[in-house]
Amino acid sequence: QKEVEQDPGPLSVPEGAIVSLNCTYSNSAFQYFMWYRQYSRKGPELLMYTYSSGNKEDGRFTAQVDKSSKYISLFIRDSQPSDSATYLCAMSGFNYQLIWGAGTKLIIKP
């Protein structure tokens, strides 16, 4: 079993919909949780960064961490075609070494 599990998709939704992306993990030592967006043939771009449990909001993006369930989520409101990309979760403990999910491919249909 991988330390971080993420459904590869693809997830296809109509423009304007709310998107929910998720990861589960097994290592209770993880304290830092991130979401990256990766466009085709580009490097990952940091979207959201959360320490420990709780919610964090930034514009149309909301990140949630539930450490008791070892489950993290990224919500995208009012989704746009430009949001079409692969979304990767990543997490680490205090050694800051990132462990990544495989990424979920998101397609926003106009």
Partner 1 sequence: GAGVSQTPSNKVTEKGKYVELRCDPISGHTALYWYRQSLGQGPEFLIYFQGTGAADDSGLPNDRFFAVRPEGSVSTLKIQRTERGDSAVYLCASSLVHDTEAFFGQGTRLTVV
Binding residues for partner 1, rule: CB under 8 A, are 4, 6, 8, 32, 34, 36, 41-46, 49, 88, 90, 92, 95-98, 100-103
Min CB(51)–partner 1 separation in Å: 9
Q: What's the rounded Cα separation, in Å, for the pair 98 and 96? A: 6
Work out how close the CB of 47 gets to partner 1 at its nearest, in angstroms, rounded to a whole number.
11
Q: How far apart are CA 32 and CA 65, in angstroms?
A: 10
Q: How far is the CB of 16 from partner 1 (least distance, A)?
A: 28
DSSP annotation of 29: T
Which DSSP state fits 8? -
